[in-house]
Every structure is written in C-alpha cells, then in structure tokens.
Structure 1
Amino acid sequence: MLCIACCAFGCYAQFVLKFPKDRFLIGVCVAGYFFFTGLVTLIDMLVIKTSVICIKVSGQTVFVDVTMQPFSHEMTIGLRNHIGLKKDTPICHKTSVGEYFDSDGYLGQEEILAAFLKLVKRFEKEHDGKEAERKKDK
C-alpha cells in the first residue's frame, strides 16, 4: 500500500500537474513521495531485514532469513519471530552453499528442504520450552 501511495504521488505529479502553474502541488507530491518511500525503507531496515519469506510456525509469524557474506561460501539460514522489539535469539544454521548443489551445479531442493525442516523443528522445540517457562512463571 505504501508503494502504491509512492507511485500515485509520482504519477499525479508527472501526468496531471503542469510545472509553472502547479508548482506548490508538485512540491507536495515530491514531499509525499519521499515520505512514503522513507516509511518503506524503515520497514525494510527494521522489520524485514534479510528475510526471504514470512511463514507461520506454531501459530506465530516467523521470518526466514538468509544471509551470505560477499566473496564467501558460507550461508546462514535463520528463523526469527520478532520484529525488533522482543530480543528472542534467532535459530540459525550456518553451512556452505556447496552442500545444496550437486556435482553438475544443479540446486538440490531436497537438501534445502531437509535443512529448513530441521530448523523449524528446532524452533518449535525451543518455542515450546519457552512457553512452558512462561506458564510456570504465571
């Protein structure tokens, strides 16, 4: 919705307004465009981060993060259930990218799925343990 607002401001300023006559409205459209673009950027930096997909695990929203440093063969796949406010540590699996490709250079989807499912089981196990602790504390 924010991106649609950005595009609407830009299109309105480009195709509807005329420069000398609508100078003030063009300035408003430019300011609106940068405001909504800034909101999209903040959401990307603070919430989405390195997430490639958002799924439901054990009834809660979980971000699947994939990070890889430049010029490195190591990749980290992680699951996190926070937006940046709660400081739960993400469940991570660090491995070489070469484990997911066969000798011909094709991606092995089964290997990625197996690693992902192990990560989900670890996440569920740790989440269930934390829920039990929270219930005891109450």
Structure 2
Amino acid sequence: MSDKGVEDVFKWSEDGKPVKVDKWNATTVKNALDDAVRMIMTKHFKYDENHTLMDQRLVICTVACLFAATALVYDFLRPFPESRLVLLVCVVSYFVLMGVLTLYTTYVERNHFLIVHQKDQAGVDPDKVWTIDSCMKRFDDMYTLSLLFEDNQNNLRQESSFTKSVGCWFDENGELVGENFLMDVTALHDGLKSEKKKK
C-alpha cells in the first residue's frame, strides 16, 4: 500500500494532523485506536457505518432526561406536595430507564463500538455485516480487536481477533504510526475474508 493511501486514511482529525495521544492514558489510547479502526473500515474499505446501537442508546438517554426535566418543571410550577405523584412517576421512570440502559450496554451493546455494512456491488444480495469490538484493561498496554463477519444469505458467521501491545502502533512521542496499525487491521480483515472464500 502506498504511503499516500495511509496518509489519506489517517487524516481524520479536524486539523488534518497526525493522531497524537498521551501514551500513559489507556482510555485516550483505546479511543484513538477505536477511531482509527472506524476510519479504516469506512474510508479504506468503504463500508457503510450502521448507527443503530448508538441511536438506541441515545433514545433511552433522551427519554430518561425528559422524565427528569418534566419532574423539575412540574415541581417548579406546582411545588411539593402538589407535585408528589408526578415526581414519583418521573423519578421511578428515570431509574427504570437507567436500569434498562445498563442492561442494554451490558448485553446488547457490549464492547461493540462499530457496525458496518458491506454492500453488494450489484445491489442484489443483502448486506454483509461486520461488527467490531475492542478491549483494553485500565492498567494494561494490550489492545484486543475482534472482528465478527456475518453473511446471513449464506448462514455464515466468523470471528477473529488479535491482541497486541499498543507500543506496536505508537512512537515515543505518542503519535500513531498509521501504516503499522492499518497493516494489522487489514490482515485481520483479509484473514476473515479468505476463510469465507474457502468455505
């Protein structure tokens, strides 16, 4: 792959500068790598991002905030104890929705941070779906990336992952070495595609 292609993929920051992070902050490092994976899947492989998981989480949060706002406004207009019933309904509903949100992030969203659709070039077959997960423990330098490929038309479901030290992709100054990361993600992606062809 040419250096120009690598530069195009990784110029995703607003100012167009290389990705640079505090390499001692695991959360920042993980988020930078997750964003780089998103750019690889959408810009390099040209898959369409599916925002359903995020949209559903936002709907739950929005409804919970509406209950909280309703309680606040109603109590202002009709002070306690007149607002007791409305406050009770809103508070209970808010906490129920926070429970729903916790269950949603734990059992539905899990570690998925990206879902992309691989469109059929002819526009005839249904989309193939790639679900991407990542994991990095708080005081660990090991980053795990998992790709799940689903082809519902052929009843095919395959998963592959790698775990590597983030030191493979960041230099001493905390700058992401895009070519190295792109190579590893591409190898993981292409490995799944080659397994799919064998079957």
User: For this structure pair, what is the TM-score category when the shorter chain's length is used for normalisation?
Assistant: 0.7 to 0.9
Q: Residues 146 and 162 of structure 2 are in contact (CA less than 8 Å); yes or no, is this contact kept in structure 1? A: yes
* Aligned residue pairs, count: 125
Structure 2 residue aligned with 1:10: 68
Q: Return the TM-score normalized by structure 1.
A: 0.76
1:110 paired with 2:179, answer: yes
- Is contact 2:74-2:86 (8 Å) kept? no
Q: Could you say what secondary structure the match of 1:124 adopts?
A: helix
Q: 1:59-74 alignment to 2 at 5 Å?
A: 59-74=127-142
Counterpart residue identity of residue 168, structure 2: E
- 5+ long unaligned stretches in structure 2: 1-58, 120-126, 151-156
Show the 5 A alignment for 1:47-126. 47-57=108-118, 59-80=127-148, 90-126=159-195
Q: CA deviation at 1:79?
A: 1.3
Instruction: Give the AA of the match of 2:90.
Output: C
Q: Which amino acid aligns with 1:75?
A: Y
Give the drift of 1:62: 2.7
Q: TM-score, normalised by structure 2?
A: 0.55
- Following superposition, the deviation at residue 57 of structure 1 comes to 4.2
Alpha-carbon distance in structure 2 between the residues aligned to 1:63 and 1:96 = 22
Deviation at 1:89, TM superposition (A): 6.3
- Match for 1:38 among 73, 80, 99? 99
Q: What is the one-letter code of the residue matched to 1:91?
A: S
**CA–CA distance in structure 2, aligned partners of residues 23 and 127 of structure 1:** 60
